[in-house]
Amino acid sequence: MDNAKDKGKIRLYDKTFKPFIAYDEIEKAIDRVAASVNADFKDSEDVPVLLCVLNGSILFTAELLKRLDFACEVMSIKLTSYSGTQSTGKVREVMGMSGSVEGKRVIIVEDIVDTGTTIVDLKRILQDRGASEIRVCTLLLKPDIYKKDIPLDYVGIRIPNDFIVGFGLDYDEIGRNSKDIYVLDTNMKYYILFGPPGAGKGTQASAMVEKYNLCHISTGDLLRSEIVRGTELGLQAKALIDAGELVPDEVVQGMIENQFRRVTDVSGFLLDGFPRTIAQAQALDKILDKAKEEVTAVISLMIPDEMIRERIKHRAKIEGRADDAKDETISNRIKTYHEKTEPLIDYYKASGKYHEIDGTGKIDEVRERINTLMDKF
């Protein structure tokens, strides 16, 4: 598959996977985990057991073992609950434990913890066989779906609930030998909606989101959502707003990147109000490039300046905002729009991603023009 190869993607059987976590990031995570394990076991008078859960954690166990500076015994056990890309929810012991754990402290070494079903069953198995203490060490964790009561003592990297392969993880037993980790490519689309004040972006965006199963990202709404949710970036933004300062680009960009990673049950994203500058457009390209993605298309709703004036005045009258209806105010808004937007138009025209839509006429007429374009993607 040429397109997959060009973007660093890999093909396994019937599915395509794109780069997700590079090997150097994996190594750093293992370094952190090993440091924590060493701190807890450095004064051990006994010999703890490192229990490798086959086959997925072979590579992780090997790398972790090289970094441990205390004496330990290595055992293995093989269990399975996956078929294809879905967990069956039932754990089977495929290959018994390679030694006795009676009276010993055990560190379970897992490649990934998602629902936690395997951890629950494995802890029961170890308790039945007389382990004196059980700790859990995992390279990867899907915190959104792990709801079990068993604490995870050592966690390398927290990831969204996506299907991944590489560094020991497989898709129907292949893909384990990649040193990087790849995520299932869902062919996500990334659209940018342009248009001057009064072009009807809000009205058309709602219809686009519903018809094409998109996540609408408006920077204003996103800021408010992050603040309400109390995220780290939201708290940074709130502190700046409370101090009367503008929220810097890097904070907004971080929120957008988080949204790209967090929202997975859609076919794509519709960006409204971002980017507004060439610098922001370049930052967006970098965010997407990290996931081996790119902007799908820029849809620009175009109406003449005189229509902008008419629509802004009409909206200001309906909303009772007399100041917004002043000719000077409207002229400044149009001037600002042209100054900020025209460089972006040239930027996206250069990559062949810019598409203009005639925004004049009835709402349904404009919507039909948008749908005709969107259907091509």
The catalytic site residues sit at 201, 276, 315, 321, 333
**In the chain, beta strands by DSSP E:** 10-12, 15-21, 49-54, 73-83, 86-95, 105-113, 133-141, 154-158, 164-165, 181-184, 189-194, 214-218, 268-272, 297-302, 354-358
Do residues 81 and 88 make contact, with C-beta atoms less than 8 angstroms apart? yes
- Chain center to CA of 191: 17
Write the single-letter amino acid at 15. K
Write the single-letter amino acid at 350. A
- Residues 51 and 133: their CA atoms lie apart, in Å, by 12
- Of 111, 120, 96, the C-alpha closest to 170 is 111
* DSSP-derived secondary structure letter, 151: P
- Residues 234 and 148: their CA atoms lie apart, in Å, by 28
Q: How many CB atoms lie within 10 A of CB 65?
A: 14
Side-chain half-sphere CA neighbours of 226 within 13 A: 28
Angle, helix 58-67 to helix 23-41, in steps of 10 degrees:
60
- Residues 148 and 319: their CA atoms lie apart, in Å, by 51
Instruction: Write out the two tokens for 22.
Output: 């590079």
Instruction: Write out the two tokens for 152.
Output: 């995870």
Do residues 41 and 200 make contact, with C-beta atoms less than 8 angstroms apart? no
